[in-house]
Structure 1
Amino acid sequence: MPSFPLSYLIFIAMSSPIAINILLPALPNIAKQLNVDISLVQLSYSLYLCALAFGQLLVGGIVNHFGYRKTMLLGLASFTLGSAISGGFGNIEGLLIGRVLQGLGGAIAMSLARALLVDGSGKTKASQKMGYIIMAIAISQSIAPLMGGLINSLLGWQLIFSISVLQGSLLLMLTLKLIPHHSQQTQRPSFRENITQYKTLLQDRDFRTYAVANTLVAICFYVFVSSSPYITNTFKGGIHAYGYWFISISISFMAGGYLSTLINQHLTLDKTIAIGNSISLLGAFLLLLTQLFLDTDYAGLFLPMCLVTFGRGISQPTNQTAAISSINKQSSMAAGLMGFLQLLSGALFAQFIPLIVTSLPTLVFWLIFTCMSFAIWLHLRHWSQNSKQSKNT
């Protein structure tokens, strides 16, 4: 497998985070212009997440049938076409159909960016480079809502999708140039064989541990994102203050991702994960204490969460590298399955968190602390078992 330019893989990884977040500021305006209920427009976000989750689950089987080149072209074509349909039709039906196609294409792009990095660079170098992809995703999540709000105000919501159309078109041209025709030999396994391969991944202790630990840390983020708009509803400063404080979360995530690229040059994957998880656990503990014993404000809510996210920025790229590289020749399926577990879990928690906030707000912070505690325990237990096995052999 040849090595691909990191800038190309970063550009791919940024496509889906931009697409999913750039539309958020325009949702109320879309509902007003199309004269539909806001809950119906909100489906454009929910359906994208669902398509993103299931698309990542299916991407491994698609790669096994068609290889990396054809799969990437298929995903980018779906992403670009979905972007054009979402903005081009100017109605709710086109928006929802387009978002599903966008999400499926974005799932392929996200999964293959990670798989191509691991396959092309090897486990050690990939762990160092994965942090740059995490940083790019954090930047995308930060700037996308600002871009979407500006375009919506000046040009209208339909032209928001021109960003994704342009990005998808450029990536199609780059893929045709950079990924060779025979970048991976196609195996064309049957549907049953694909299911068996997913079963094999879940039975592998290394993959299961790293993937579940990564998912638990991600759940902390989804729980916070889902609950914070309701928690801060009565805070001083209003929605504008919330937007500025939320940027601090992305900056913390980006800083952690950058630090992981430096740490992985000197420490093993497990040591890097342990450092990131420890920082996140400290942040979760401080977040719980501030919400239980101090007057709640933006600083008390966001500063401890910045610490959680900073630790996640360190642990996530290393967790992903360890999980994807745990089984030889199944990196695309491993990346897809891991993304599916993370997104599906996040979507399920996000759906019920608003109900929890309205009935028992402190439960949100106990949940974040519990998930982080279980993640660090799971990884340390696995690390200890592997160390004992290495000594015995």
Structure 2
Amino acid sequence: MKTQSYSGGIEAGDQISQNPRLTGKIIVLLAGLSAISTLSTNIILPAFPDIAEQLGVSARELGLTLSSFFITFALAQLVVGPLADRYGRKKLILVGLSIFIVGTVVGGLAGSLETLIIGRVIQALGVCAAAVLARAIARDLFDGETLARALSLTMIATAAAPGFSPLVGSVLTTSLGWRAIFILVGLAAFAVGIFYTATLGETHPTERRAPVSIPGVIFAYFRLAVNGKFILPALSVSLLMSGLFASFGAAPAILIKGIGLSSLQVGFYFAATVFVVFGAGMAAPPLARRYGAQIITSAGILTALLGGGMLLIGSESPGLGWYSLSMVMYLWGMGLANPLGTAITMGPFGKQAGLASALLGFLTMGAAAITTWLGSVLTFSAVTTLGGIQTTACMIALLLFLLRGKSMASLSQK
């Protein structure tokens, strides 16, 4: 059997030749795999006050359940990626979803903050496989403009998870108690596993699989990390997404404590944001065809930067209108830049899609862990902290992405 070693072959010519039709079932499946992680994160946010009261901790301490999830998620991806490139996607996804369900049971039965954190860590260990391999599966099946379209449509569908899940979490907490949230999330993971098995299955054929060795994997990650075609757009996308995750962590303090919304109103608020991401995701592919993915991605990051900047120049206790305008700008920019930037990052690395997706996921979740941790420890107001985090992250992201464009232009002139 011919295999491709990790030590080479990660250049721009590594494209997957097969281009199956992008169907609704594939989009729903990719969205389901991607959404489980954000679903399990956001659905619990409106329940923080109730959980804090029952477990005898502060709502701010519950931020540790987010940062511990992100750190575990980030590190575990580095193992999942190369294993999936060696043994295929299907085994890793099904085992990962099973582990996630175990963590869901632990979290749902938790009687202390420590046990809840352990449950969240187990959840992260399992669900990282689904999230990482959703991108790898998309790269297995598609390339070029079709890959960008698949990622855009997936992101639109996935936006329903962070958008509508707080509303669902609010309803469950109010009617059945916060532990019912874990039951729903576990059932969702089980349903995704069944749908994946019945709809798609393995997408990484045996002849494309690479042997796994620790030195080879380390060297492969190193090659990606020093390859400007990967690392510059990957860091840009990761920093942009970290600002979004920071807004999730800050939402209870800003919307409930600061502005005075109820947990149910916060749920409706997040649900309304879905339409912003939906519009941006629909606009991204045609705009990229007309003006180029580099220009539209840069414009998206700049728009998100302006959204974060609004929080810095505004009041420390903004009204709902000002805060919402800031969030709309950030979400619109993120909705344009994220799918296009991800396609730019993943496009040249078809044979190592699992590895590349794992490193991209590691960078994203690592950045998210840092920003959510900063949000919980900095002593500035929640609004100022969030604005500072988003502005700084987007400024660095824009500089890196522009540097990527400049370097690619230089290469094309040679």
Q: Could you say if the C-alpha distance between residues 255 and 242 of structure 1 is closer, same or farther in structure 2, counting changes exceeding 3 Å? A: same
Contact 1:287-1:305 within 8 A present in 2 as well: no
SS at match of 1:201: helix
Q: Residue by residue, what CA displacement relative to the aligned partner does 1:306-356 show, whole Å, maximum 9, x if unpaired?
A: 112201110011111111223241111111111111211222122223443
AA at the equivalent of 1:381: L
Q: Which deviates the most, 350-359 or 169-178?
A: 350-359
Q: Could you say if the C-alpha distance between residues 360 and 169 of structure 1 is closer, same or farther in structure 2, counting changes exceeding 3 Å? A: closer
SS at match of 1:51: helix
Write out aligned runs for 1:302-313 (5 A).
302-313=324-335
Contact 1:132-1:261 within 8 A present in 2 as well: no
Write out aligned runs for 1:54-133 (5 A).
54-87=75-108, 89=109, 91-92=111-112, 95-133=116-154
Aligned to 2:12: none
Aligned to 2:412: 390
Write out aligned runs for 1:340-359 (5 A).
340-358=362-380
* Alignment TM-score, normalising by the size of structure 1: 0.86
| Equivalent residue for 1:337, pick from 351, 359, 362 | 359
Q: Could you say if the C-alpha distance between residues 94 and 348 of structure 1 is closer, same or farther in structure 2, counting changes exceeding 3 Å? A: closer
Aligned to 1:259: 283
Q: Which deviates the most, 225-234 or 95-104?
A: 225-234
Measured in 2, the distance between the counterparts of 1:32 and 1:235 equals 19
AA at the equivalent of 2:221: Y
Measured in 2, the distance between the counterparts of 1:36 and 1:263 equals 50
Asked if 1:212 is matched to 2:235, the reply is yes
What RMSD over aligned residues (CA atoms) do the two structures have, in Å?
3.0
Measured in 2, the distance between the counterparts of 1:120 and 1:132 equals 15
Q: Could you say if the C-alpha distance between residues 305 and 62 of structure 1 is closer, same or farther in structure 2, counting changes exceeding 3 Å? A: same
Measured in 2, the distance between the counterparts of 1:391 and 1:357 equals 49
Q: Which deviates the most, 44-53 or 102-111?
A: 44-53
Asked if 1:14 is matched to 2:31, the reply is no
Contact 2:85-2:204 within 8 A present in 1 as well: no
Q: Could you say if the C-alpha distance between residues 286 and 159 of structure 1 is closer, same or farther in structure 2, counting changes exceeding 3 Å? A: closer
Q: How many residues align?
A: 388
1:244 deviates by 4.9
Asked if 1:277 is matched to 2:277, the reply is no
Q: Could you say if the C-alpha distance between residues 6 and 231 of structure 1 is closer, same or farther in structure 2, counting changes exceeding 3 Å? A: closer
Q: Could you say if the C-alpha distance between residues 36 and 63 of structure 1 is closer, same or farther in structure 2, counting changes exceeding 3 Å? A: same
SS at match of 1:187: coil
Contact 2:63-2:249 within 8 A present in 1 as well: no
Higher relative contact order (CA 8 A, sep 6+): 2
Q: Residue by residue, what CA displacement relative to the aligned partner does 1:44-103 show, whole Å, maximum 9, x if unpaired?
A: 44432222222222221221332112111211221223223433x454476444322221
1:235 deviates by 4.7
Contact 2:307-2:328 within 8 A present in 1 as well: yes
Write out aligned runs for 1:122-161 (5 A).
122-161=143-182
Contact 2:172-2:180 within 8 A present in 1 as well: yes
Aligned to 2:226: 203
Q: What are the ranges of 5 or more consecutive residues in structure 2 without an aligned counterpart? A: 1-15
SS at match of 1:151: helix
Measured in 2, the distance between the counterparts of 1:9 and 1:359 equals 37
Contact 2:166-2:267 within 8 A present in 1 as well: no
AA at the equivalent of 1:272: I
Percent of pairs identical after alignment? 24
1:287 deviates by 4.2
SS at match of 1:327: coil
Measured in 2, the distance between the counterparts of 1:360 and 1:94 equals 27
Write out aligned runs for 1:290-301 (5 A).
290-291=314-315, 296-301=318-323
